[in-house]
């Protein structure tokens, strides 16, 4: 595997940045939950949303890579995921006006999830025997 580790590593660094943003806000005295602070809530949700989507997307991309999918397809999926997560994370952890990043980050992430899922299903169907 050569493509998936690249995006996993880059996304891992971004996850650390999002984690640090939550920890920084916790230093203001919010030890658990969001403390009723809307900025803290946004940072927590941006961080949590990353953990909800990125692992499955990377797993699907990794399965495609192991099944010898086109390196161009793998990089396209990886770049879309990376850009989507950067936009989404920036909107939640660094921006006051987060509509653009949230919308496009979500759209790109969902597109990766859909395409990678369909490609994995297609790979699985291709190897099914035609007779029982």
Residue-wise pLDDT for 94-117, tens only, equals 987 778 899 999 999 999 999 999
What ranges do the domains of the chain cover?
39-126
Structure tokens at 73: 């397809």
Render pLDDT for 8-17 as a digit per residue (tens, 0 to 9): 999 999 999 9
Q: What percent of the chain has pLDDT above 70? A: 96
Task: Write phi, then psi, for 16 (nearest 5 degrees).
Answer: -65, -40
Instruction: Give this prediction's pTM.
Output: 0.91
What confidence score (pLDDT) does residue 131 get?
Answer: 62
CB neighbourhood size of 91 (10 A): 22
Q: What pLDDT does 45 receive? A: 94
Q: What is the pLDDT of residues 34-53, one digit of tens each?
A: 899 999 999 999 999 999 99
Q: Are 84 and 107 in contact (CB under 8 A)?
A: yes
pLDDT at position 97 is 77
Which parts of the chain fold into alpha helices (H)?
Answer: 4-26, 38-66, 71-93, 99-126
């Amino acid at each position: 595997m050569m493509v998936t580790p690249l995006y996993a590593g880059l996304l891992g660094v971004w996850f650390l940045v999002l984690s640090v943003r939550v920890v920084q806000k916790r230093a203001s005295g919010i030890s658990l939950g969001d403390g009723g602070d809307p900025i803290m809530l946004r940072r927590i949700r941006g961080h949590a949303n990353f953990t909800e989507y990125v692992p499955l997307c990377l797993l699907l991309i990794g399965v495609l890579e192991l099944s010898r999918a086109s390196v161009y397809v793998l990089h396209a999926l990886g770049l879309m995921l990376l850009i989507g997560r950067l936009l989404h994370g920036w909107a939640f952890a660094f921006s006051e006006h987060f509509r653009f990043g949230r919308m496009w980050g979500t759209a790109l992430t969902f597109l990766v999830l859909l395409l990678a899922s369909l490609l994995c299903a297609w790979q699985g169907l291709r190897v099914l025997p035609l007779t029982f």
